[in-house]
Structure 1
Amino acid sequence: MSIRRSFVMAVLLFLPLTGGLAWAQTQHNSPAPTILVIGDSLSAEYGLRRDSGWVSLIEKRLHDQKFSHHIQNSSISGDTTSGGLSRFPAALKEYQPDIVIIELGANDALRGLSLAMTEKNLSEMIALAQQADARVLLLGMQIPPNYGRAYTQQFQGLYPLLAERHNTQLTPFLLEGIAADRERFQPDGIHPNEAAQEVLADNVWQQLEPMLQEHG
């Protein structure tokens, strides 16, 4: 075999290997899809040990079930829909999420703020996320009836209304399964304790998992 022929064969054998290495390198360098959580104290681990809240539990499930997504938790205790909206565009630009989980509105209700403003703020956030090609999971909330029957019902109805209007996924009530159980709350009677976080994670996972499968 001539030296020239041997060289050509060596090159031909090497090309598939280098092509595969380049593909693998590209795959390795591709950023993992991001799930952006924007919420208030219910998502910010208020009063809990670090990494014990429902967002951290969801992140653990992602890892355990071999999903490539990672979570960016941009929740701030005490935040309202107005506060969330004000910082949302920057978060979208920075993290470029594939999925956005919006957990806001409870503090609006606790302060007796205008439901029209709450609806407007949430609607704008959903629209901004969709314009950025992110899918949205809206987490619904409810408030005690002592805020008045009309206000309570209108607040509860905001979330399914917005989900239908914008064609988003909806967790009807984040606190489903624990809301009436005082032992699942911290002494303030408002914030779920550590024992409740797995239930909250289950509630979110019901709608989130199909969204993850769809991405895959």
Structure 2
Amino acid sequence: MKYLRALILSASLLCVASCSETTDLPTLQAGAVVLAFGDSITHGTGAGSGQNYPTLLGQATGWEIINAGIPGDTAQAARERIEPLLSRHRPDLVIVELGGNDFLRRRNPAEVKVDLEAILSRVAAAGVPAVLVSVPQFSVLRATMGALNDSPIYRELADERDLLLIPDLLSDILSREEWKADPVHPNAAGYQALASGIHAALQGAGIAP
């Protein structure tokens, strides 16, 4: 079983890495400050202390990663907290993972896209590059079937703003029972897969060592 899980994880990471696009951003060396901006999935709900993806990604890269994940946060509410975080931490990179709680509240995806665009605009105005993590538009039926799909707004935003997108990873993790603590949160193994997938995508783009 462990061997099978390793094969599944390797295949998922290979897909993430192969789907990554190179960027003209320099490789961030150890000690770089990265802001992980998101909701409960960034925070690490569903796993123990130190098992969240920002901590694991920091261990893999040597970056100083600020975990700015708030359980229950929405893209709509997060618009108001991004600028103070940018001013306080002056990050070299921002990883944005938001929208899941908006979808659970049945908000119109077009409205969620507007909120995400406002966040990304404020990051860009601060002169900081951003990476966008796609989030599935939650469906009880598709979650039960193990077949969640990314909301299309993330690909639209990435194309419109010329951003590095990390697609399919979170949808894949939340479609696998062995990687979930509950229907909307990874467990410890899921967070390890999330951190490894983000790291692989950033390496493929030339951003991570």
1:194 paired residue number: 188
Please identify the structure whose Cα radius of gyration is greater.
1
Task: Give the residue type in structure 2 aligned to 1:83.
Answer: A
- Rounded to whole Å, the distance in 2 between the matches of 1:88 and 1:107 is 17
State the Cα distance separating 1:145 from its structure 2 match. 4.1
- Counterparts of 2:157 and 2:64, CA distance in 1: 26
Equivalents in 2 of 1:99, 1:59: separation in Å? 13
Q: Which runs of 4+ in 1 moved over 6 A?
A: none
Tell me if the contact between 2:137 and 2:151 (Cα under 8 Å) persists in the aligned partners. Answer: yes
Tell me the distance in 2 between the aligned counterparts of 1:180 and 1:87: 30
Q: Aligned to 2:118, what secondary structure does the other structure show?
A: helix
Matched position secondary structure for 1:60: helix
Q: CA deviation at 1:178?
A: 2.5
Against the structure 1 CA distance between its residues 167 and 85, is the aligned structure 2 distance closer, same or farther, given a 3 Å change threshold? same
Structure 1 residues 197 and 108, CA gap change in structure 2 (3 angstroms):
same
Q: Distance in 2 between matches of 1:201 and 1:40?
A: 15
> Which residue of 105, 113, 126 maps to 1:119?
113
Aligned counterpart, 1:175:
170
The alignment status of 1:36 with 2:35, answered yes or no, reads: yes
Letter in 1 for 2:56: L
Normalising by the residue count of structure 2, what TM-score does the alignment of the two structures yield?
0.75
For residue 155 of structure 1, report the CA deviation from its aligned partner. Answer: 6.8
- Which residue is equivalent to 1:157? 152
Partner of 2:3: none
Aligned to 1:45: 44
1:13 corresponds to: none
Residue type of the alignment partner of 2:154: Y
Aligned partners of 1:102 and 1:52: how far apart in 2? 19
Query: Aligned residue for 2:84?
Result: 90
Alpha-carbon RMSD across the aligned residues, in angstroms, is 2.4
Which residue of 122, 132, 140 corresponds with 2:126? 132
Shift of residue 161 of structure 1?
0.3
Is the CA contact (8 Å cut-off) linking 1:109 and 1:155 kept in structure 2? no
Match 1:73 to one of 67, 73, 77? 67
Residues 47 and 186, structure 2, Cα contact 8 Å, conserved in 1: no
Q: Does residue 95 of structure 2 align to residue 101 of structure 1? A: yes
Deviation, 1:43, is 0.9
Cα offset for 1:34? Answer: 1.3
User: 2:46 and 2:173 mapped to 1: Cα distance?
Assistant: 17
Gaps of 5+ in 1: 1-31, 64-68
Deviations 1:88-146 (A, max 9, x none): 11111111111110000010001101222211110011111111111110000113445
The number of residues matched between the two structures is 174
Is the Cα–Cα contact under 8 Å of residues 86 and 123 in structure 2 kept in the other structure?
Answer: yes
* Kept after mapping to 1: 8 A contact 2:149/2:171: no
AA aligned opposite 2:84? A
Q: Verify: 1:57 aligned to 2:51, yes or no.
A: no
Distance 1:179 1:202 in 2: 15
**Secondary structure of the structure 1 residue equivalent to 2:37:** strand
